[in-house]
């Protein structure tokens, strides 16, 4: 392939450019090699990212040993866990776009020939993959790794337990000392949240879509294997350059089908829907919500992962990681095995080159396909009079298939959380949180503080929630998000009144507001959107550009 770096570094006119590099210690020999960007989202904002600078050094050694020259740079990353439950969460989804844009800008500005992208927290994974698809330069994604679970009262715990413990404390089911003791042990070290929440979901998806080395998703953040994976990732980019294999050769329609299948098989985060739609847009693949529902119906749910199940990423790693699931799906004839991957081999070739020990003892982290947790996948798309454009619910661990109740309407997450914490939400309520969509929030906040408080109070399947915002991967229960059209653009969710009846039927994929069309038309005539919450700065810019959740809440024009 023609190397972009040659246009930056070759010829007499580029003497000043070479001089700048030599100021940083590079030699003519270094500059005659391909230049590889090594991007990480390292920062001190979150345990998910705090160690990524160290992993970047391992990746850089791999790049150097392959005969290329690494150039390290960083992008931002928001801690969803720390941003949760207050204004800060509005910046979370916005950060996905900033991460993608900053990686793109760095790569274009300096003419790097390939990319190793290392990330750890929820939005940094899709942000990095979006940039790779957009740039279409030889690239490999590598995950920063999962945190180890904590131990409390003889059981594994994660940050999900702490969020739910807040609700238990508010309802008198837990003492303050118990809450504090749980808080002290739930997150023991570096790494992304331990369950099959958004980060681990997207890490699993990165293998399924072919953009990560096989087996790279599950090893813990602070294991030696994680450094080895980063070294091997750095070393592998040159092979892609030599073979001229680019992200859009890998991220095809069939690869996205594999990614959707993985998210459903593992009971993954609802955010996977939003992020895969956005990545597909940049990969120039036409993906819709209908594709998600089609793939879900033929994908068995086989991994018993938190929050809907029992196990964490470490448990999956102990039995062989994501390739165990890919192998099972391939053998059943469900996976597209002929798709290209970053190894330069097909998915089928990768899997057939690996050996699997399928004995799991007493623990059944991954079920046999003949005995799945459920015969269908877990990320269900709902439609109906309340969400004509679609909505998403994760049915993993949810026993009921139908919920009917009275609407309790709130125009912000703060209002809803206040009502929950004061025990004003009771059995049979449908908590409606609106004006938290991509434009209305702006930023489509996750609602884990509120959903976890509801679960902690023992109302997990006795109360439903409906929002044009999002949910954390740690959310469980009758929680419906991504409602479209959102309230800010006049969607039906904007017209709901206190006490209206709402019916959710996951078996029929329906979500309906039991109000006549005539009454809704009358309400629509009187409706006015709320005033924009931000008129300057990044959030105002995002609100002016962002598209519907049905296309991934992207900021790139839909028609481009």
Q: What is the per-residue pLDDT across 340-396, written as a single tens digit (0 to 9) for each?
A: 999 999 999 999 999 987 776 656 999 999 999 999 999 999 999 999 999 999 999
Q: What angle do CA 276, 267, 546 make, to 5 degrees?
A: 30
User: For the stretch 233-251, what's the b/e string if a residue is b when 16 or more beta carbons lie within 10 angstroms of its beta carbon?
Assistant: bbbbbbebbeeebbbbbbb
**C-alpha distances in Å from residue 414, one per residue of 70, 417, 419, 446, 486:** 45, 5, 9, 12, 18
Least confident of 164-168, 301-305, 321-325, 411-415: 164-168
pLDDT over threshold 60, residue 530? yes
Band (6; pLDDT cuts 50, 70, 90):
very high
pLDDT in tens, 213-238: 999 999 999 999 999 999 999 999 99
> In this structure, are residues 531 and 411 in contact, taking their beta carbons and an 8 Å threshold?
no
| pLDDT score recorded for residue 361 | 62
Kindly state the average pLDDT of the residues 139-158. 96
Band (429; pLDDT cuts 50, 70, 90):
very high
pLDDT over threshold 70, residue 560? no
Annotated catalytic residue within 39, 236, 449, 472: 472
Q: What mean pLDDT is reported for the chain?
A: 96
CB atoms near residue 460 (< 10 Å): 20
Q: Where are the beta strands (DSSP E) in 385-535?
A: 387-394, 402-410, 429-433, 464-467, 479-484, 501-505, 510-513
Kindly state the average pLDDT of the residues 46-56. 97
DSSP 152-197: ETTEEE-HHHHHHHHHHHHTTSS-HHHHHHHHHHSS-SSSB-SSSS
Tell me if residue 472 is catalytic: yes
| pLDDT score recorded for residue 359 | 75
| pLDDT score recorded for residue 357 | 78
pLDDT in tens, 442-490: 999 999 899 999 999 999 889 999 999 999 988 888 999 999 999 999 9
């Amino acid at each position: 392939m023609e190397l972009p770096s040659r246009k930056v570094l070759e010829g007499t006119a580029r003497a000043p450019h070479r001089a700048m590099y030599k100021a940083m210690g590079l030699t003519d020999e270094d500059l005659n090699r391909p230049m590889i960007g090594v991007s990480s989202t390292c920062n001190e904002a979150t345990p998910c990212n705090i160690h990524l600078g160290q992993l970047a050094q391992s990746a850089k050694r791999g790049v150097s040993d392959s005969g290329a020259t690494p150039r390290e740079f960083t992008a931002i990353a928001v801690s969803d866990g720390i941003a949760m439950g207050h204004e800060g969460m509005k910046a979370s989804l916005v950060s996905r776009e900033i991460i993608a844009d900053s990686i793109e800008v760095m790569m274009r500005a300096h003419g790097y020939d390939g990319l190793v992208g290392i990330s750890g927290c929820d939005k940094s994974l899709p942000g990095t993959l979006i940039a790779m698809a957009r740039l279409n330069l030889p690239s490999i994604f590598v995950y920063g790794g999962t945190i180890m679970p904590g131990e409390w009262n003889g059981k594994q715990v994660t940050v999900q337990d702490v969020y739910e413990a807040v609700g238990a404390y508010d309802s008198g089911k837990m003492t303050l000392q118990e809450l504090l003791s749980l808080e002290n042990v739930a997150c023991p070290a570096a790494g992304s949240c331990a369950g099959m929440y958004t980060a681990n979901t997207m890490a699993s998806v990165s293998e399924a879509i072919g953009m990560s080395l096989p087996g790279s998703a599950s090893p813990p953040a602070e294991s030696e294997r994680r450094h080895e994976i980063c070294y091997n990732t750095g070393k592998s980019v040159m092979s892609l350059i030599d073979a001229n294999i680019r992200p859009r050769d890998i991220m095809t329609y069939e690869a996205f089908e594999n990614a959707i299948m993985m998210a459903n098989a593992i009971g993954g985060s609802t955010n996977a829907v939003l992020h895969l739609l956005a990545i597909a847009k940049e990969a120039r693949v036409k993906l819709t919500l209908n594709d998600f529902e089609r793939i879900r119906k033929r994908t068995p749910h086989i991994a018993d992962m938190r929050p809907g199940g029992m196990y964490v990423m470490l448990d999956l790693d102990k039995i062989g990681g994501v390739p165990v699931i890919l192998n099972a799906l391939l053998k059943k004839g469900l996976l597209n095995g002929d798709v290209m991957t970053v190894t330069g081999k097909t998915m089928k070739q990768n899997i057939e080159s690996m050996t699997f020990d399928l004995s799991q003892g007493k623990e059944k982290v991954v079920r046999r396909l003949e005995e799945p947790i459920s015969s269908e996948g877990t990320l269900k798309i709902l439609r109906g009079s309340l969400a004509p454009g679609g909505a998403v619910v994760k049915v993993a661990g949810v026993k009921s298939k139908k919920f009917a109740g009275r609407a309790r309407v709130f125009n912000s997450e703060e209002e809803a959380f206040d009502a929950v914490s004061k025990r004003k939400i009771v059995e049979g309520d449908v908590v409606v949180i609106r004006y938290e969509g991509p434009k209305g929030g702006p930023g489509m906040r996750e609602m884990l503080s509120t959903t976890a408080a509801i679960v902690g109070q023992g109302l997990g399947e006795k109360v439903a929630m409906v929002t044009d915002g999002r949910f954390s991967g740690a959310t469980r229960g009758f929680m419906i998000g991504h409602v479209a059209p959102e309230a800010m653009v006049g969607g039906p969710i904007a017209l709901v009144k206190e006490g209206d009846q709402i019916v959710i039927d996951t078996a029929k994929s329906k979500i309906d507001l039991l109000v006549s069309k005539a009454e809704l038309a009358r309400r629509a005539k009187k409706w006015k959107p709320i005033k924009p919450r931000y008129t300057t700065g990044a959030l105002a810019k995002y609100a002016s550009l962002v598209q519907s959740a049905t296309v991934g809440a992207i900021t790139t024009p839909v028609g481009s």
